[in-house]
Amino acid sequence: MGTPFISLLEPSKLEDYDRTKPHDQQPGPVAKAFLDAMAVREAVFVDEQRMPLEYEYDEDDPRSCHWVVYASVSHVVELEQVDPATNIIVRPRRSETRTVPIGTMRIVPFPTRPTPSPTAGPRDPARQRDHLHHPFGIDISISSTRSRRPRPRRRRHHPSRCRDPAPYAQDRATTFHDGQEPYLKVGRLAVLPAYRGRHISGQLWTAARRWLETHPRYFDPSVTERGMDALGAEQASEIPRWGGLVCAHAQAAAVKTYGRWGFRVDEVMGHWYEEGVPHVGMFLRLDTKNVPPQV
């Protein structure tokens, strides 16, 4: 494997993305980097972890930043030919090098879904992936009596920067979150099984972290575009503004990985299940001081 390189996809229009179809059967044009991210997510969450395909893509995807890590992989396209009489190689083996996506991660802007309540058990259908409550008020929950087929989408979705503002509602206070401060959410972290244990995920996080530290105002809502009323603010100090807080809803098996990056488990948030997989909430605060305010 050659040296991996990482690519960033900023919020993009994905309204034609069909969540019932895999990434390589999408009917409309979709950003290549997003298809690559979905290739990894499908391999890891759908094929390996058996999560339903239709839950993999969600309403947060168009408004998120996605990082995709690629590796150059050499594979044999033609075996060598040996003359059986002389045992001499008459045609050498032919290899080709391809660049393939091997890992991905996304950062979801605020507002995010409300903090999950640690009540549902591992088989409770009310804990399917994190599709319960959407900050834009779209009901995409699925009750136990319904099939797992996705509901038709009701609205088209656009990145946070060009859509109507979402409600900046009060959430339940936990150990590291006062219930109100805007935070970004890191998630859909996945590395293909063949590339695990080489700190590929750490490279993804380093890239995302550096980007956040250099673009701390990127996800802040624009008062010019949205207006004070829509942001629920009466004065400038009340405008939602990212202060460096990052949250991860981590699968239990990934807690150590996030811990290495400085995330701490939020004890009050508790644990919950998504598709039978135990999750905990973790938080990290990045230093965004000395960053000029958004104009």
Binding residues for ligand COA (CB under 6 A): 44, 189-191, 193, 196-202, 250-251, 253-254, 256-257
Minimum Å distance from CB 43 to ligand COA? 9
Residue with smaller CB distance to ligand COA, 241 or 249: 249
The pair of three-digit structure tokens given for residue 16, joined into one six-digit string: 């034609």
Residue with smaller CB distance to ligand COA, 233 or 269: 269
Minimum Å distance from CB 105 to ligand COA? 8
Minimum Å distance from CB 234 to ligand COA? 38
In the numeric block, the tokens 């168009």 are attached to 62
Minimum Å distance from CB 276 to ligand COA? 13
Q: How far apart are CA 145 and CA 172, in angstroms?
A: 29
Nearest to 211 by CA among 176, 184, 247, 249: 184
Residue with smaller CB distance to ligand COA, 85 or 253: 253
Task: Quickly count: other Cβ atoms within 10 Å of residue 80's Cβ.
Answer: 11
In 174-270, which residue ranges form alpha helices assigned H by DSSP? Answer: 200-214, 223-226, 255-260
Which element (helix H / strand E) includes 41? helix 32-41
List CB contacts of 153: < 8 A, sequence separation 6 or more: none
Residue with smaller CB distance to ligand COA, 69 or 166: 69
Q: Which single residue brings its beta carbon nearest to ligand COA?
A: 197
